[in-house]
Amino acid sequence: MSVPRSNGSWRQVNSRQDFAAYLHLLAADCEQACTGRDFDDPAVQRWTNRTISDFLWGWVRLLGKRIDGTDQLWEEAPGRPGWQGLAFQLDEARTSPPGYNCALADSGTRPDEVVSAIDMRWYVATLATDFAADQRRLRAAADRGEWTGDGGSWAHSTLYDWLDAWAAWAGANSPNHARLEPVTWRSVALQLSVAQTYE
């Protein structure tokens, strides 16, 4: 499915293949926003979070609880999480102010521990922290004059490349992809862990 470039196109995501196409759309829009091309495009203007870390922290913020104890995205996302609900979350995360949280940053949550939206919040914070630490290690190595050609533990350093890698993996077919249906918080965590290193 080709997802049109319009606000709300997450509503058209109904399958894994639709979701992969939507991720490709996000990656293309993000690349335009990050490289300063076509700023008149409304899709580009919707990007507030243009780094992997900021994007993930924005998602963490959205996965947090409201004052009344209810979860904002859980109430609003269709399919809970489902492919459409996941696309909705990512659409919201690109403009949500980052929700930096030191307690969450040190959680060390693993993808196999994720079973709920709150677990996902902890895991996404773990990824955001790991990405920032990885980038600091690479900069420090470069400052010391060390070769950093192989990069760090993250295969991609830009948000658009990371989204594109996630799209490529989500849209592929292998025995591992059977674990993605139905969409659960754990299967989303699995996607994120693979996207971290997928090239």
Q: Where are the domains of the chain?
A: 9-197
Specify whether the CB–CB gap between 159 and 53 falls below 8 A: no
Q: List Cα–Cα distances, 2 to 21, 24, 71, in angstroms.
A: 6, 10, 31
| 141-152: pLDDT as tens digits | 778 888 766 666
As a whole number of angstroms, the distance between CA 145 and CA 140 comes to: 9
As a whole number of angstroms, the distance between CA 85 and CA 81 comes to: 5
| 52-102: pLDDT as tens digits | 999 999 998 888 765 444 455 555 554 556 899 899 989 888 888 887 777
DSSP state of 182: S
- pTM of model > 0.75: yes
CA angle 62, 66, 71 (to 5 degrees): 60
